[in-house]
Amino acid sequence: MTQTPSPITWVPNDRARTITDSQAVAENFPPGVFDQTRAFHEQIPGYKVSPLRSLSHLADMLGIGGIWVKDESVRLNLNSFKVLGGSFAIYQFIKRQLGLENEDLSYEQLVSDETGARLGDLTFATATDGNHGRGVAWAAKQLNCKAVIYVHKDTSVARIQAIESYGATVHIVDGTYDDAVRRAGEEADANGWQVISDTSWEGYTDIPRWVMQGYTTMLSETQEELAGQGIVKPTHVFVQAGVGALAAAVTGFYASRFGADRPTHVVVEPATADCLYQSARIADGYPHDVEGDLQTIMAGLACGEPSPIAWGVLWDCVDAFVAAPDYVAAKGMRVYGVPLAGDPFVVSGESGAVTLGALTFIANNPAFSDLKDYLGLGPDSQVLLINSEGNTDPDYFRRVVWEGANSVPIEYRKAMSGV
């Protein structure tokens, strides 16, 4: 008889609570970079601050002071935060190509015919589970450049078509996301293309670092939005992870801004693609890969190989690493989509919703009271979540929200009193 997977498997990272100044944070998020990324993104036509939504009634039900959701499903009409990283990395790459690393380059100059003539025929390549590739394809189109995007064999048709809608060429790789990363690198080398990846490897760190820096625009916005509510900073941040770039951007931002007084950070991954959780469990300070087919409904998090530069930040700054099965993400999608009376409706895809699902189990299920106590989660807590994507796979979204796919096992429904 197959045992029902627990909704929460976790490992503490006690060493993070001993580190006040992280060298990894300092290297990846130097002074001034948050202002630089924000200034660049504000110039993009159609830029708007994405909303910070309050789930105050759900917070009351869970016995938490507040739940705040940074809703990236509406970012530049691209259904995901990913464009922030890809666009900033391409911007920095072009500045380097033009010998303007220490100078300002406006968005208008960036997309001008003059800049295009100086750059020549450029092609950008990347691997993706969907959202990053869509962001790179969008950015390439603004520059009148080509984009070649590699996806793994289980990528949905809807996500592939969304990438192609921006004029990119999409290649399907018979393997996992990590296999697609390798194929993109090999073919880029062979054809003289430039890889714009959100994961790093030996000899390739600048661009993934710029990607992580680009993501911090949404945290700068969040801090302004929280200030408008009289909140200096969240007490807790739950953030999802694939290779770890988003998680490192979030933790790095708060560690840089607040040092030892940073929020408590929790990283949540799919149980079938838990490379960061396993790296923390091994606890030798190095990132470790996980093998297998990495099957999960959380397509954007289906990664078996951590980004080394992201791992350095997470190892220094994350308090707990959590692995969760698919039904936790599906529960989060339904809680967002059918909110308590008075709470806002949020459209969240599988990868965007797993942190809310995990939070509901941790806050309300006595089986996880040890983790709740370790995190200090209670009535004074102000929890920040990142809804990293909207409805990027409509067919599967309907299966979860309409038909109840990946429902919570009955034994865990009984334990979830009130939710």
Between strands 9-12 and 320-324, the pairing is antiparallel
* Residue 141 near residue 90 (C-beta atoms within 8 A): no
Tracing tokens 């796919």 back to the chain, one arrives at 405
Catalytic residue selected from 70, 71, 129, 393 = 129
102 C-beta neighbours (distance < 10 Å), count: 6
Coil vs helix vs strand at 163? helix
CB atoms within 10 A of CB 157: 9
Which one from 70, 71, 82, 198 is the annotated catalytic residue? 82
Give the helix ranges, DSSP H, for 63-112.
83-97, 107-110
List the one residue out of 348, 334, 337 whose CA is nearest residue 416. Answer: 334
Beta strands 52-54 and 9-12 are: unpaired
Single-letter residue type at 76: L
Do the Cβ atoms of 343 and 62 come closer than 8 Å? no
Is 414 an annotated catalytic residue?
Answer: no
From the number of C-beta atoms within 10 Å of its C-beta (0-12, 13-18, 19+), residue 203 rates as exposed
| d(C-alpha 175, C-alpha 193), whole Å | 22
Whether residue 129 lies in the annotated active site: yes
CA distance 48 to 190: 39
CB 72 within 8 A of CB 218: yes
Q: State the DSSP code for 204.
A: B
Pairing of strands 236-240, 146-152: unpaired
Catalytic residues: 82, 129
